[in-house]
Structures are given as structure tokens and as C-alpha cells.
Structure 1
Amino acid sequence: MANLQLGRELSARTLMFHAAIAEKVRLSATEHKALDLLSRAGALTAGQLAELTGLTTGAITGLVDRLEKIGFVRRERDPSDRRKVMIYPNLEKMEREIAPLFASMSQQMQTLLSRYSEQELAVIQSFVSQSIAVLQEETKNLQSPSSSHSPTS
């Protein structure tokens, strides 16, 4: 049980850290993390971003409108399929405005990781990868119309 409590604490601290980063650049936490997903993908359609985030396409439209207005993304028609609109992250702006906010954290995490053996790091990587898979699956379950998870159940 203590391990589950530790996981909850890590989750809460991670969420609060990213909320603080988002606030520094005048984004919501959701906008910040959607932008992170987009930056790792390179370019996505609104539908693809909705699927990755679990947000509705309507919510994604508003989110992308806000990110585009402040210069973090741009929309362009897909040259191979003019019906598709691709959303591209402004990596230069992200590097200039967001990346420096992670410098101290990155340095501290590198120091922390250096304390572990390759074997220990492999176990940690396995745990984190499997945790991500569980979170993705549980998020999908919560978003499905037939979800049995509800505040009253």
C-alpha cells in the first residue's frame, strides 16, 4: 500500500510541476501537455491530437486556436491531401520559452539517474513503461461512453 501512496504522491507532484511550468508561459496545464505531445509527434491533425489527449475534437479546436494565437503552433493544409489540416508546433518558440524552465529539473534528474546501475535503470524503465500503458488504457476506459466508472458508483 505504501508503494501506491508513493505513486500517488509522484503523480500529484508531477502534475503540480507541469501546472507551474504552464502558468509561467501563460498556458493551461492541458495546453502545455498537448503541446508537448504535439512537439514529440512533429505534426498532427486535430483528430489525431484529440485521440492522443482524450479530448473531444471541439475542445482540441479551441485549444489549438489559443496555441496558434500566441504563436506556439501553426495550421497548414497537408500538401498531399488538401482536405487535411496539419498542426505544427513552433519548436523554436518552445525552445526559447519553455525549455529553459526545465533546465534545473533535467540536471537534477540526470544526477538522480546516475546513482542507479544499468540493471536498476532497466527495472525502472520497465515499470514506467508499463505504468504508461496502464494509464493510457484506464484513460480510454474512463472516456468510453459505456464506462462503468462514475462519481456515484
Structure 2
Amino acid sequence: MSGMDGQHLGMRLSTAVVAFHEAVGTHLGVTAVDQRAYAIVAGEGRMSAGDLAKRLALTPGAVTGIADRLERAGILTRTPDPADRRRVLLTANPGAYGDLLAGLGAAMSALTATYTPAEQQTIADWVTRTIDILREQTQRLTDNHPR
């Protein structure tokens, strides 16, 4: 790998991704956990605050704070559940978040276009496997963390 091992490259990639999301968070006034919550709602669709709390392994009160910040940032909407008005449903609104990510998306698309289809397939495989490893390691740390 041109003089750099996978661990070193992985650390550099991780640091760059974290720095990018910190900058997005600063711009929007949200935290990294807020962004993770937003990504879950955006990826899975409208859900209750209770369901999001379970997905994040957080208390309902913590999710209320997250929803407050995401709503203030204009990227999440809370509405009463028509079937049970005691429940609140959360809906993602890409708005400002999507605008901030558009530049990254365009730059990544331009970079991807510089590779052959076969190279793109290899890169996609590496990224997919990296995501799987990160999820496994995150779960391992979560399972072994004393509460």
C-alpha cells in the first residue's frame, strides 16, 4: 500500500471522517450522536422517539434533547402519532444537512469516476467490509462496556 499499512490508512480515514462530521455538527449546532440519530431516522424512515431511543441505547430523555437540537437545526420534524397522540414521530428533513453533504457527494462522485468499473467494485467491497468490521467492533465494545 505504497508504504502505508491498512491500519495507518484506516486511522487517517477515520480521523478525516470524524473531523468532517465535527465541522458539520459545529455548522448545524448538533453533536456526533445527534448526527447518528439523524442518519438512523433518515435511513430507516419515520419512527417514534422511543424506537430511536432503543436503536441508540439511550434514555427517552436523552432522545428528547437530540430531537430538540435536530429540530432547531431544521433537519428533523416531530409530530404526534395519529394512532397514539402520546407518542411522537420523528421524520428526517435533509434540508441544511443535505446541502452540507452535497459538496462531499459531488467530490466523492468525481473521485469515483477516475477508477475503472473493476477498481470501483474492489473499492466498494473494501468499504462494505470495513463498515462490517466497524459495526462488529462497535458492538464488541458496547457489549463489554460496564454500565
Distance 1:66 1:21, change over 3 A: closer
Give structure 1 stretches of 5+ with no counterpart: none
Per the alignment, residue 112 of structure 2 pairs with 113
Contact map agreement 1:54 1:140 (CA 8 A) in 2: no
1:2-151 matches, within 5 Å, as 2-82=5-85, 84-89=87-92, 91=93, 94-95=94-95, 97-144=96-143, 147=144
Which amino acid letter does the alignment assign opposite residue 122 of structure 2? V
For residues 61 and 140 of structure 2, what CA distance do their matches in structure 1 show? 20
Distance 1:125 1:36, change over 3 A: same
Distance 1:51 1:128, change over 3 A: farther
**Corresponding residue SS for 2:29:** coil
TM-score between both structures, scaled by the size of structure 1: 0.76
Which amino acid letter does the alignment assign opposite residue 139 of structure 1? T
TM-score between both structures, scaled by the size of structure 2: 0.79
**Corresponding residue SS for 1:98:** helix
For residues 56 and 14 of structure 2, what CA distance do their matches in structure 1 show? 17
Contact map agreement 2:34 2:70 (CA 8 A) in 1: yes
Q: Deviations over 1:94-124 (max 9, x none)?
A: 32x2333233322221111001121221121
Contact map agreement 1:54 1:143 (CA 8 A) in 2: no
Which amino acid letter does the alignment assign opposite residue 130 of structure 1? R
Which amino acid letter does the alignment assign opposite residue 128 of structure 1? V
Give structure 2 stretches of 5+ with no counterpart: none
For residues 18 and 65 of structure 2, what CA distance do their matches in structure 1 show? 22
For residues 39 and 113 of structure 2, what CA distance do their matches in structure 1 show? 25
**How many angstroms does 1:17 deviate by?**
0.6
Distance 1:123 1:73, change over 3 A: same
> What is the percentage of aligned positions where both structures have the same residue?
33
